[in-house]
Amino acid sequence: MNEDKKKELQSATFERLLKHLDERKDVQNIDIMNLAGFCRNCLSRWYREEAEKKNILVTDLEAREHVYRMPYSEWKEKYQK
């Protein structure tokens, strides 16, 4: 498999993970953290850190909005228990 196809599959897989998490708003970050050792906030931080490595400016809020599919403050208000 060439590098472009590999990155395309990895990107699609990441987007599928985000879609899955978006469909499971009932699952709290602490639940994910306890079971898997990472949560939505970790994913958003990793997203921002990878952007930084490529000299792409992504703020914490932008990264969280990408992962949460809405502004983080809105997600917290609606779904955080």
Which domains occur in the chain, in start order? 3-79 (1.10.3340.10)
pTM over cut 0.75: yes
Q: What percent of the chain has pLDDT over 70?
A: 100
Confidence band of 81 (pLDDT split at 50, 70, 90): confident
The pLDDT score that the predictor gives to residue 74 is 95
Provide the terminal-to-terminal Cα distance of the chain, rounded to the nearest Å.
43
**Number of Cα atoms under 13 Å in the Cβ half of residue 35:** 8
Whether the Cβ atoms of residue 39 and residue 30 lie closer than 8 Å to each other: yes
Confidence band of 59 (pLDDT split at 50, 70, 90): very high
